[in-house]
Amino acid sequence: MFRKLILVGCLCCCTLAIAQLGPSRAQIPTTFENLQVLPSEISSNELMDTMRGFAVGLGVTCTQCHVGEDGQPMSTFDFASDEKQSKAAARIMLRMTSDINGQHLPELPSFADTAPQATCGTCHRGQLRPKTIHQELDVAHTAGGVDQAIEKYKALRGEWYGAGAYDFRERPLILFASQFMQQGDMASTVKVLLLGAELFPDAVDSRLMLAMSFMRMGNTSEARKYAEQALAIDPDHARVQALLKQLE
């Protein structure tokens, strides 16, 4: 039971992984000394499939969790060693993922139809420490203010765009800006919205909110400018139309 629960989800990643991460099987031990979570009778193939699933799911190589050097023969690795913290964390995660698949998901009414499975990659999406873009922005903001949050966003977007790890659409920036707006911090609100307007030349929401923000700041000419941009994108947008009326 356990084996099926854990391994099924990992298999799909494997063909991809083999090319980049696949050590030659000859170098991999066939008997294992220190399995505390995986079943002791697991075959070498199944263990390797599971390990590649870990590596791909987290976007790391074997050495994240095992003592050894990237690029060196696997025979020089000490896979049984528990020296690395990430290996201990991975055991906790293995138990957690097993509980999710074995206990919690089967409680879903839809389980019989869809038999959903959580894998490491379901949460990690190629990241060692999975976070949402909201969490990343909040952490950076707490550490160094809105400018640091904007820098962090740009850096993450540069590194991760297209990877599916973060939501780089307009919406999270709008929500982040709304936080500042609620606090009356209009300077920060505008900074975040300007980034949104720059990154999304066809998006209405950043421009509508910019118009509202400038209006609130008493800058009607900037407010009108962004309301007009928004209207050019979506001429039927009722809120934009109403705002422009107010600004006349």
Q: Label residues 216-248 b or e (16+ Cβ within 10 Å = b).
A: eeeeeebbbebbebbbebbeebeebeebbeeee
- From the list 33, 107, 113, 198, which residue makes contact with ligand HEC (rule: CB under 6 A)? 33
Contact 192, 205 (CB under 8 A): no
Nearer to ligand HEC, 14 or 231 (CB): 14
Contact 126, 163 (CB under 8 A): yes
126 binds ligand HEC (CB under 6 A): no
Contact 170, 203 (CB under 8 A): yes
35 binds ligand HEC (CB under 6 A): yes
From the number of C-beta atoms within 10 Å of its C-beta (0-12, 13-18, 19+), residue 126 rates as: middle
43 binds ligand HEC (CB under 6 A): no
52 binds ligand HEC (CB under 6 A): yes
CB atoms within 10 A of CB 196: 23
129 binds ligand HEC (CB under 6 A): yes
Binding piece for ligand HEC, criterion CB under 6 A, among 54-62, 139-147, 148-156, 199-207: 54-62
Q: What residues make contact with ligand HEC under the rule CB under 6 A? A: 21, 23, 28-29, 32-38, 47, 51-52, 54-55, 58, 60, 62, 64-66, 79-80, 85-87, 89-91, 93-94, 97, 118, 120, 122-124, 128-131
